[in-house]
Amino acid sequence: MRRFYLHKRGSVFYAELITTAGVKLNARSTGKKTRDEALLVVADWLKEGLPVVKQPGYLAGTESSKSKPISVVADRAGILSAIKKAVLERDDAFAIVAALRAKGLIDIPVVATGKGNVKFIDYLKEFWDYEKSPYVRDKLAHGHSIGRHHCTLNHGRVVNYWEPFFKDRALNTITRQDIKTFSLGLSDTGRSPSTINGIMVLGTSALSYAAQEGYIPLDPCKGIARFSGKPAKRGILTEKEAEAIFNLDWAEKRAYLANKVAATTGMRAGEILALRREDIGEQSLHIRHSYSRLDGLKTPKNGDERKAPLYPEIKTELLALVDEAETLHGKGAYIFYSLTNEKPCQDDLILDGLHDAIKKLNEKFEKEGRELEKIDWKARNIVFHSWRHYWAARMSDRMTAEQLTRITGHKSRAVFDQYADHITEDNIKEVSNVGREVFGGILKFPEPKGA
């Protein structure tokens, strides 16, 4: 039986080899311009196998060449021929490419049809659209918490970071290497590790969900490492600074009282904004809700109600403010009211109030020649949430971590769940007694004169 055919294309001879099973392989160049030289190359192929990679200085039959037996190449040709002729379903295609990936021959397959054949960026935008996202519906249906603010933040990050890089790419063409290149590009911009991880996780979550739901056969982000590094530390005011700030006349009483509540209870901004008259107890504040601009009224972070200590001085101020709110909006009004009955004031008001108070204190220091005592809140990263850290820092020397987590709602879930249902008025009184010593300098100051 004939083993090969030799013919010339241009000035170079090509050979078509025939296997012992009678399968004719695709023609390949011998690289030779004379018939005799070409015959020597073909003879070498029949003996040693077909070359896979030609390395510099390649000579037929030398150890510098890599080759495969003709039967193996014939098997591959047969496989390719069978695939071309076969009637394949989408699952069959997935099985084929999964086998290729298992051999390390490809990264992630490309599927020409199906749910994965959509623009990647359009998929991401819908994934983080609170109203349209099947992912959000799944989370909510299974009792998990996911807020509009979180979705809106990630939707914005899709537009700002993912879209300029991936542009019109299809979902089913995104590879592991694409994700790595994108993440390294973010790293080169000098952004903090926590910021980069926040940008990355919105995409990795979406791609993981796409693989889980069968939009794409494999998750290209599986095993992608997160960037390590500590997030920017939130600054806190010193005890003397806090006392000096609350000893000022604030321009806005709601901002003054909200900051005072945060400093003496460790409550979050949204939890304070959500307070109503029914949340004011004898010795404690009942933290049943949180409020955000996008989500409206919702459960507190981590989903658990809790209590925080309420000092008589602050209770008096809260009751006075809620009287004012209910005079304006009627029963059930938010204590930290806005001009609209349906929602409290914006969180900007209470944060701006804090920064305005710091500015006023700095001006006071400047007049008194105390320049070195001025507070650079931007450099120190002092925000409203800093009061939560301030409270914990002031109380941590006097109480155990267990006692503090009962009040703050931090979850360390295994620890918190053991005690969350057992926060009694005695516990609150215990914390309140310690707090009175710690925050006495804040509590003694009078209500500001501003309206």
**If you average pLDDT over each of 27-31, 189-193, 246-250, which comes out highest?**
246-250
For residue 155, give the DSSP letter.
H
**DSSP reduced 3-state for 311:** coil
d(CA 431, CA 265): 10
Q: How far apart are CA 34 and CA 239, in angstroms?
A: 93
What mean pLDDT value characterizes the chain?
82
Mean pLDDT of 251-264: 96
Q: What is the mean pLDDT of residues 75-89?
A: 69
Q: What angle do CA 75, 77, 81 make, to 5 degrees?
A: 115
Report the Cα 64 to chain-centroid distance in Å: 50
* Beta bridge pairs of residue 16: 5
Q: What pLDDT does 420 receive?
A: 38
Element containing residue 275 per DSSP (H, E)? none
Tell me the three state secondary structure of residue 280: strand
pLDDT tens figures, 96-143: 776 776 666 666 555 555 678 899 999 999 999 999 999 999 988 988
Distance from C-alpha of 130 to C-alpha of 240, rounded to nearest angstrom: 44
Query: With 0-12 CB in 10 A as exposed, 13-18 as middle and 19+ as buried, what is 134?
Result: exposed
The model's pLDDT over 284-305, given as tens digits with 9 standing for 90+, comes to 999 999 998 878 888 887 677 8
pLDDT of amino acid 323: 97
Number of other residues whose CB lies within 10 A of the CB of residue 26: 10
Give the pairing type, strands 28-29 and 50-53: unpaired
DSSP class of residue 302 equals: G
pLDDT value at position 50? Answer: 76
The more confidently predicted of residues 254 and 419 is 254
Contact status, residue 159 vs residue 237, Cβ threshold 8 Å: no
**pTM of the entire structure?**
0.60
**Domains of the chain as residue ranges with CATH:** 4-81 (no CATH), 87-232 (1.10.150.130), 239-443 (1.10.443.10)
Closest CA to 406 of 290, 263, 282, 308: 308
Model confidence at 376, pLDDT cuts 50, 70, 90, reads: very high
pLDDT for residue 443: 77
- List CB contacts of 141: < 8 A, sequence separation 6 or more: none
- 351 CB-side CA count, 13 A: 14
The span from the CA of 135 to the CA of 433, in Å, is 46
| Gap between the Cα atoms of 411 and 417, Å rounded | 8
With bands split at pLDDT 50, 70 and 90, how would you rate the model's confidence at 58? very low
Output the pLDDT for position 77.
63
Length reported for the chain:
451
